[in-house]
Amino acid sequence: MKKIGLFLVLLLPALSCLAQEPYYITRAGTVLHYERYKASSGKRIQTTRIEVDSIVNTPGGQRVCYRLLLEKGNGRDLYGGPMDQYVDINRQGDVMTDMGKFAEQAMKNLFPRAKVRSEGSQAVMPSRLQPGDTIPGAHADIYAGSLKFTIYILGRSVLRYETITTPAGTFDCIVARERKIEDGPLRHHDNWSDNWYVRGIGYVRHDIYDKDMKLEATEVLTRIETK
């Protein structure tokens, strides 16, 4: 009985760490599998794998550490291999992503001999959202040697509630829209996206549009793997 009581004492702080379940995966050992298809042809152009390595309680909430692997439709790495990343979740359940640190890992894979650093703001996904809400934007500057890349996330708003079905199941979602601008040497992207978020998982669908709101690609969650 004493052992059971001690187990509950240790477990309860972890369970009560967050006031509300965030729009992010919060189960260690879980792997999310996604596939992205080109809108004009239906051809698969990308796969994404997100594996949660660990979840650590912090003074402000939790840090979720995970491994991200993006591959082209033919199986070749997009960013030179897997990337170890993290997000911070505060006690209210808001998810904060350091966009600069996120991009740093990709740059280190692509330019292994360059000195890479970043600066900028965090992208926040609030835990309390309803249609009509606006979400703060964010930006990051990433430097790889003498090269500079800039990322802006703008125009973030909550559109609606919606229930959708993907190959991974049927989900009750909140849908948010944002604009993402990427600038760098020989690179300029200006896209809009609609994102379907689910508590305890994150996004289950991701539609990408050009600046004129023409659909370019759709990404969906295809499988949830637990270990």
Kindly state the percentage of the chain with pLDDT values over 70.
Answer: 93
Question: Which residues fall within 8 angstroms of residue 5, CB to CB, at 6 or more apart?
Answer: none
Across 75-92, average pLDDT: 91
> The dihedral of CA 164, 157, 99, 52: what is its sign?
negative
Q: 144-166 pLDDT, tens per residue? A: 888 899 999 999 999 999 999 99
- pTM of the model as a whole: 0.89
Written out in words, the top-level CATH class of the domain with range 2-226 is mainly beta
List the domain boundaries for the chain.
Answer: 2-226
pLDDT of amino acid 147: 86
